[in-house]
Structure 1
Amino acid sequence: MHKKKTEKKPPSREFFLSKKTRPSRVLGQNFIRDQSVLERMGRIAALSGEDEILEIGAGLGALTLFLGEKVRRVIAVEKDRRLVEKLRENVSTLKNIEIIEEDILKTEFKRFLRGNKLKVVSNLPYSISSSVLFKLLEERELFSLLVLMLQREVGERIAAPPGGKEYGSLSVLVQTYMDVSLELNVPPEAFWPRPKVDSVVIKLIPLLRPRIQISDEKLFRTVVRSAFSSRRKILANSLSSLLSKEQAEEILKSSGIDGRRRAETLSLEEFGRITEVFHRYNRLKSGGSSVQT
């Protein structure tokens, strides 16, 4: 654990001015400039001197430095080569920080483990936040806790209950495998450059077992995504992308679900029932089409 205080914060704006360039919109770069936001994220993550932290999208190191002063180890992943050299310089006084220049969507998280599970504390690049969330979900057994800064709209989608326009595949998949809480609303002025949207810090705690019974997780993801692929369609039509409409109607009927309903009205348990019937259908059916995952 390193207690040494850093004398100055990474000068995000000054860095880009000196390089005569701008933060990347493609990479969704907005840097936290409000120290109180970092402190709140730290409290939400319940940081301790034994923690090992994965940070996604380290930028110029404001959050990285804050974490490095409080925990045993920080693995900071940053894709933008323009930033990495300055990031290394900014955190050079702390030897418990590892800088990884890599695309997070191609990163194998398991290689960072040294025994204990990791905590993820990150200001996620907004342009890839959903893709990163799905990847974190797939490797959730590696993590004890996730504290993530997201576009507020994305955070609200994750936490949304059935029945509303925010409820979608992200809601179903995250809530099936994790406890979700919206912890902190963050205004645009807490960042440079200022995003055009509000942000939110969410806390995710991976469950020891899924909230519903799932025999085939890959099939579950396929069913959920297919159901939400066209929100205007009734379930019988949405799921016919996996099988014929007649087969989809048969499976929905066997699940006790009206095929005229739409995906946003289904609970987690109902998605689980559909998947279990699909799973049995695949196992029993021979000589014909089956669900492709």
Structure 2
Amino acid sequence: MEIGPGDGAVTAELYRLGRELTLIELDETRLDHLEDTYPRAEVRHADILTTRLDRPVIVGNLPFHLTTAILRRLLRSGRWQRAILLTQWEVARKRAGIGGSTMMTAQWAPWFDFRLVTRVPADAFTPKPSVDGGILTIDRCPTGSIPAKARSDYQQFVRAVFTGRGRGMKGILSKMSITDHRSLQSTMDRNDIRGDTLPKDLTPDQWTGLFTELAGESDQTNAKKGSTMRNNKGKKNPITEAAPQTPLITGEVPIVGAQPATEKLQAPIPGTGPKAKSHDKGHLQAERGFMNQHQKPQQPQPRWNLPRR
């Protein structure tokens, strides 16, 4: 299956092999030309992001601006076995883990093998792009190093590590609170991971070992917490006695229309309410650090004319 045959530059070479060939073309104006030139091929007017991928081998000269979207579509499809893709040079290098892997590559490494084949100069393209291309191959592993049912948990773990805060793997994992410090250091030592290693520098085997051990410890910790909750489920919380209320002061004559003391204590402080005057707000903003440090705050003006002593 070829993705986006276009004018048939790659299609002609594939057609000479004499194998079953399916062409996925989105541009309707190219369909007649493809059907007339390659009569033995199946020409399908479809979008690669939505059509079924029902061939064992996928080939394509991918548009540079759609490379990531097409890769995600391929990796989530479960029928093909091998993909041979012509992409932008830097994208091919990163997906193959040259100079550090990307989060996408790390998330799918247990089930796929990414390899960089060769570099294609920009002069080989028509029209000529501004960057070189690279041939990337993706092969599906016969058996994944992590069970398929744990794929979602593993990919969430990789995302949390790549987006976590910290200097190196030790700092990132410590802030994730997966396990205690001693167990974390032992796990990293067994997988030959230094504390200052960055997530992009981990190998697929290191990712697998790290997730397998930490996920097991996390399950044990959750099991202990669940056991503790079950053991404490039957216990009743002791009933605490209510604090005695403050007795009322007797001997006072109530004043008609007077407010209770509690309401007076809860009354807002003048100048702090939403309807405070501008000079009161300015003084409060100065106290809270909202004013310019070089600007002197204005003194609050009295809101009532009090009698002089």
Return the letter of the residue paired with 2:188.
G
Return the letter of the residue paired with 1:87.
L
Partner of 1:194: 128
The answer on whether the counterparts of 1:158 and 1:175 sit within 8 Å (CA) in structure 2 is: no
Q: d(CA) in 1 for partners of 2:43 and 2:23?
A: 5
Counterpart of 1:247 (choices 154, 158, 178) is 178
Return the letter of the residue paired with 1:266.
L
1:104 paired with 2:41, answer: no
Distance 1:279 1:247, change over 3 A: closer
User: How far did residue 252 of structure 1 move?
Assistant: 4.2
Q: d(CA) in 1 for partners of 2:156 and 2:84?
A: 27
Distance 1:225 1:99, change over 3 A: farther
The answer on whether the counterparts of 2:96 and 2:115 sit within 8 Å (CA) in structure 1 is: yes
Larger Rg: 2
User: How far did residue 208 of structure 1 move?
Assistant: 0.8
Q: d(CA) in 2 for partners of 1:209 and 1:203?
A: 18
Q: d(CA) in 2 for partners of 1:232 and 1:77?
A: 45
The answer on whether the counterparts of 2:6 and 2:30 sit within 8 Å (CA) in structure 1 is: no
1:138 paired with 2:76, answer: yes
Percent of pairs with identical residues: 23
User: How far did residue 135 of structure 1 move?
Assistant: 2.8
Counterpart of 1:92 (choices 14, 36, 40) is 36
Counterpart of 2:85 (choices 135, 144, 148) is 148
1:115-167 deviations in Å (ceiling 9; x for gaps): xxx2111111211212322332233x522332110111111112225xx4x32
2:36 partner SS:
coil
User: How far did residue 262 of structure 1 move?
Assistant: 2.4
1:267 paired with 2:199, answer: no
What is the TM-score when the length of structure 2 is the normalising length?
0.58
Give unmatched runs, 5+ long, in structure 1: 1-53, 289-293
User: How far did residue 200 of structure 1 move?
Assistant: 1.2
Partner of 2:95: 158
Structure with greater proportional strand content: 1
What is the TM-score when the length of structure 1 is the normalising length?
0.61
Partner of 2:117: 183
The answer on whether the counterparts of 2:110 and 2:208 sit within 8 Å (CA) in structure 1 is: no
Q: d(CA) in 2 for partners of 1:152 and 1:178?
A: 20
The alignment yields a C-alpha RMSD, in angstroms, of 3.2
User: How far did residue 282 of structure 1 move?
Assistant: 5.9
User: Larger relative contact order (C-alpha < 8 A, sep ≥ 6)?
Assistant: 1
The answer on whether the counterparts of 1:61 and 1:87 sit within 8 Å (CA) in structure 2 is: no
